[in-house]
């Protein structure tokens, strides 16, 4: 129990959670709740604004994540599945530190890096400048980038287009480039949101190998996706998120089976926002 105590003293992680059975944990989510505001689309007219005495626009609170707890370990690839609107992407953004938890907390061994789909960094700038900006923002140094630049571009397969503005890239090319940037610095914790769905077969193979590499370097990979087949192949563990809560957490085949069955049985959709 000395281990748990030491960790609690250092980081105020709930005791007993940081290490279990001698495995090294990378992420600990402790009763994470995320609620955010969605402003109504309807723009108020000037008259309404005055009538409301300049109060803020109308909004709703959306409880996207409602109490998620789990712990991940070195070398795991964790798939996250669930219906549209179940809170998967919000959870991922919170794990990335891009969206604060309203309640509860996330602890991690290093800053997770999020790889989202279609997040063009700077559409007007060339692919080259995007690689440099993205890598610098991730915390790489210029010398590191210079060393790894060719490898990144080569991996993304955009060598011929590297000096064209990003807006001229196809969505597949942009996603590949983004994946190459995000995975280049071999983050210990990589979060992937649907990004694998856009590449062609060849790129899927390459990215699967890169993920394998990351895992073997004692990292942890989280993947949100709807392509259950691909997830079953590449993940060692599966989280099923339903209405903002963990519905199941376990062996991929088992969780996917249960998930499929629930999709067939209950046509129940996620509650409207």
Partner 1 sequence: MSQTHPELIRLGTPPGLRDYLRSIWHRRELATTIPLGQMKAQNQDTVLGNLWHLLNPLLLVGVYYLVFGLILDVGDRGADNYVAFLTAGLFTFFFTRKSVQSGAKAVVSNLGLIRSIKFPRAVLPIAAVLGEVLAMGPAVVAMVGVVTLTGERPRLMWLLIPAIYALQAVFNLGLAFVAARATDHFHDIEHVLPYLLTIWMYLSGVFYEVNAYLTDETALRLFKLNPAYVFMELVRGALLHGTTDAWLWLLASGWSLVAVGVGFAYFRAHEEAYGRG
Label residue 239 exposed, middle or buried (CB < 10 Å: 0-12, 13-18, 19+). buried
Q: Is 16 in the site for partner 1 (CB under 8 A)?
A: no
> Which of 64, 77, 92, 96: binder of partner 1 (CB under 8 A)?
96
Q: Is 234 in the site for partner 1 (CB under 8 A)?
A: no
> Which of 62, 97, 148, 164: binder of partner 1 (CB under 8 A)?
97
Q: Is 129 in the site for partner 1 (CB under 8 A)?
A: yes
| Cα–Cα separations (whole angstroms), residue 13 to 3, 174, 186 | 12, 38, 25
Cβ of 17: how many Cβ atoms within 10 Å? 17
- Rounded distance, CA 73 to CA 158, Å? 34
Site string (174-203) toward partner 1, x via CB under 8 A: ----x-------------------------
For residues 80 and 95, which CB has a smaller minimum distance to partner 1 in the complex? 95
Inter-residue contact 59 to 37 (CB < 8 Å): yes
DSSP 158: -
Site string (140-169) toward partner 1, x via CB under 8 A: -xx---------------------------
Residues 6+ apart with CB under 8 A from 68: 29, 31, 32, 87, 91, 104, 241, 244, 245, 246
Q: Is 133 in the site for partner 1 (CB under 8 A)?
A: yes
Q: Is 25 in the site for partner 1 (CB under 8 A)?
A: yes
- Rounded distance, CA 210 to CA 170, Å? 22
- Give the binding site for partner 1 (CB under 8 A): 2-3, 6-7, 10-13, 18-19, 22, 24-26, 28, 36, 39, 94-101, 105-116, 119-125, 129, 132-134, 136-139, 141-142, 178
């Amino acid at each position: 129990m000395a281990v748990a105590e030491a960790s609690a003293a250092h980081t105020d992680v709930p005791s007993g959670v940081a290490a279990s059975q001698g495995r090294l944990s990378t992420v600990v989510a402790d009763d994470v709740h995320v609620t955010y505001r969605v402003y109504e689309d309807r723009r108020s007219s000037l008259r309404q604004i005055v009538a409301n005495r300049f109060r803020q626009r109308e909004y709703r609170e959306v409880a996207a994540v409602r109490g998620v707890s789990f712990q991940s370990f070195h070398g795991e690839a964790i798939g996250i599945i669930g219906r549209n609107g179940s809170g998967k992407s919000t959870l991922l953004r919170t794990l990335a530190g891009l969206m604060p938890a309203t309640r509860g907390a996330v602890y991690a061994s290093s800053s997770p890096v999020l790889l989202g789909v279609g997040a063009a960094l700077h559409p007007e700038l060339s692919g080259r400048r995007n690689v440099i900006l993205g890598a610098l923002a991730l915390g790489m140094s210029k010398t590191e980038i210079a060393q790894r630049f060719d490898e990144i571009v080569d991996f993304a397969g955009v060598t011929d287009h590297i000096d064209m503005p990003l807006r001229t890239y196809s969505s597949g090319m942009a996603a590949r480039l983004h994946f190459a940037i995000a995975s280049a610095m071999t983050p210990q914790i990589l979060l992937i949101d649907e990004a694998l769905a856009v590449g062609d077969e060849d790129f899927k193979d390459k990215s699967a190998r890169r993920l394998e590499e990351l895992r073997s370097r004692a990292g942890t990979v989280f993947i949100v996706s709807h392509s259950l087949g691909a997830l079953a192949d590449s993940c060692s563990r599966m989280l099923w998120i339903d209405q903002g809560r963990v519905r199941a957490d376990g062996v991929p085949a088992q969780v996917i089976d249960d998930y499929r069955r629930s999709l067939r049985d209950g046509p129940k959709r996620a509650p409207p926002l």
